[in-house]
């Protein structure tokens, strides 16, 4: 039997979401965030679909930048975590990839290893995320060092990142924005702070460059909203097949740990997908699964290779297809049923899930 789980990646939906980003922030350049294997959608198909649209690609790891260059992408690429040693710096220079500079060690590496081919640098300012970036008292000194460094081309850009932008009523985002403006307005730099939530909920955060990630994939960056509410189309549909039907009697219990008991006689469809494919083990009893367009509840614990769904008296047979998330079943809803975020669900669809690319001609 061929393995049933399939992630269908609709590149026309991706392009439509990109158009939505452009419409929302028409004056800004777009750095499409395609790290983590294009948020689990496949970095190469995603980059191909955006090849003539995005002004740049943002990735987290050097390997991702290498993969893009090896696949022939000549676009500007920004490495969000920058470099950690001399070899990585040389590689960035060789590949013509921009580096984010967020810690003093990187300045030392730059100053002690003059580059023949200078790179473009983005200076990261700490505005409240407390993850990567320089505090404001360090910022001007570092900026000057970068501006004077022969291995850096042009004026360094300035960027930062929002911590709470998924909640539009949280005052933290405005505070970060104000701080970023105050600390950078005198600099002759390209500026960037907006992720998807910023793009949608804080137009004043757009600046020169925006950095959309999750919204490109049709998923809402805002709490309590679905992508469709924001004019987005889900790019990924995760589906599988029914691999067995069980007749279960009242009182019988299902799966590992017997976490669900049948209240009456019923039929259970066993579907060929589990946590080994990236379906979340934390999905609760009642998490919806679509079979023939109709929602049925997940029952019992998610196994490595299968899940169980209570189909009652429904006439469903082995081989029928089922949707775990996608167009009519938002991944945001499944994330809520699994006490996680949709980012995690799309990112962790595993290698063994067949990736079917749809509408790859732009
Ligand atoms: C530095 C940076 N910018 C932009 C993004 C894109 O964020 P989002 O997917 O919420 O749009 C990320 C994602 O984690 C990020 O780390």
Catalytic residue among 35, 124, 183, 191: 35
For the cut 70, the answer to whether the pLDDT of residue 297 exceeds it is yes
358 catalytic per annotation = no
Q: Rounded to the nearest whole angstrom, what is the distance from the C-alpha of residue 34 to the centroid of ligand 1? A: 9
Q: Which residue among 18, 30, 33, 332 has the greatest number of ligand 1 atoms within 8 angstroms of its CB, and so is best to mutate?
A: 33
Ligand 1 binding pocket, CB closer than 6 Å: 33, 80, 161, 195-197, 211-215, 221
Tokens for 53, please give them: 């649209």
The residue assigned the tokens 């029914």 is: 242
For the cut 70, the answer to whether the pLDDT of residue 105 exceeds it is yes
* Predicted pLDDT of residue 359: 86
Which DSSP helix (H) or strand (E) runs through 19?
helix 11-24
Burial of 185 by CB count in 10 Å (0-12 exposed, 13-18 middle, 19+ buried)?
exposed
Three-state secondary-structure class, residue 37? helix
Bridge partners, 321 (sequence order) = 241
User: What is the percent of the chain where pLDDT is above 90?
Assistant: 95
pLDDT digits (tens, 9 = 90+) for 58-101: 999 999 999 999 999 999 999 999 999 999 999 999 999 999 99
pLDDT digits (tens, 9 = 90+) for 209-218: 999 999 999 9
Bridge partners, 39 (sequence order) = none
For the cut 70, the answer to whether the pLDDT of residue 362 exceeds it is no
Task: Report the distance separating Cα 325 and Cα 323, nearest Å.
Answer: 6
CB 294 within 8 A of CB 321: no
275 catalytic per annotation = no
Atom of ligand 1 nearest to the CA of 100: 1
Q: Which residue among 124, 193, 213 has the greatest number of ligand 1 atoms within 8 angstroms of its CB, and so is best to mutate?
A: 213
Q: Rounded to the nearest whole angstrom, what is the distance from the C-alpha of residue 204 to the centroid of ligand 1? A: 17
* Predicted pLDDT of residue 1: 52
Exposure string of 4-13, with b = 16+ CB inside 10 Å and e = fewer, is bbbbbbbbeb
Task: Report the distance separating Cα 115 and Cα 93, nearest Å.
Answer: 7
Catalytic residue among 117, 256, 354, 356: 256
Atom of ligand 1 nearest to the CA of 343: 9
Q: What is the mean pLDDT of residues 164-169?
A: 94
For the cut 60, the answer to whether the pLDDT of residue 27 exceeds it is yes
Burial of 348 by CB count in 10 Å (0-12 exposed, 13-18 middle, 19+ buried)?
middle
pTM: 0.96
Q: What is the mean pLDDT of residues 303-307?
A: 97
Three-state secondary-structure class, residue 68? helix
Q: How confident is the model at residue 320 (pLDDT cuts 50, 70, 90)?
A: very high
């Amino acid at each position: 039997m061929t393995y049933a789980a399939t992630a269908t990646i609709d590149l026309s939906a991706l392009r439509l979401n990109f158009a939505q980003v452009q419409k929302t922030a028409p004056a800004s350049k777009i750095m499409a965030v395609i790290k983590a294997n294009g948020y689990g959608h496949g970095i190469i198909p995603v980059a191909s679909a955006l090849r003539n649209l995005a002004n740049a690609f943002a990735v987290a790891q050097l390997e991702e930048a290498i993969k893009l260059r090896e696949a022939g992408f000549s676009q500007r690429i920004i490495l969000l975590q920058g470099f950690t040693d001399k070899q990585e710096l040389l590689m960035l220079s060789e590949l013509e990839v921009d580096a984010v500079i967020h810690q003093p060690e990187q300045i030392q590496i730059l100053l002690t290893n003059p580059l023949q081919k200078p790179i473009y640098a983005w200076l990261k300012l700490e505005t409240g995320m407390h993850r990567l970036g320089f505090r404001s008292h360090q910022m001007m000194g570092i900026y000057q060092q970068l501006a004077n460094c022969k291995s850096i081309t042009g004026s360094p850009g300035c960027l930062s990142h929002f911590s709470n932008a998924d909640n539009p009523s949280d005052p933290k985002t405005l505070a970060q924005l104000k701080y970023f403006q105050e600390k950078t307005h005198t600099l002759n730099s390209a500026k960037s702070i907006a992720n998807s939530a910023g793009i949608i909920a804080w137009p004043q955060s757009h600046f020169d460059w925006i950095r959309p990630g999750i919204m490109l994939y049709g998923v809402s960056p805002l709490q309590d909203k679905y992508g469709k509410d924001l004019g987005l189309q889900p790019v990924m549909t995760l589906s599988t097949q029914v691999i067995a039907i069980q007749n279960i009697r009242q009182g019988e219990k299902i799966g590992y740990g017997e976490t669900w008991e049948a209240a009456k006689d019923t039929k259970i469809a066993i579907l060929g997908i589990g946590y080994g494919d990236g379906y979340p083990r934390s999905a609760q009893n009642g998490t919806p699964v679509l079979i023939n367009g109709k929602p049925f509840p997940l029952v019992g614990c998610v196994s490595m290779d299968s899940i169980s769904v209570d189909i009652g008296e429904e006439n469903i047979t082995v081989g029928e297809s089922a949707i775990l998330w996608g167009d009519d079943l938002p991944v945001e809803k499944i994330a809520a049923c699994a006490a996680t975020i949709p980012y995690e669900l799309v990112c962790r669809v595993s290698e063994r899930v067949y990736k079917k690319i749809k509408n790859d001609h732009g």
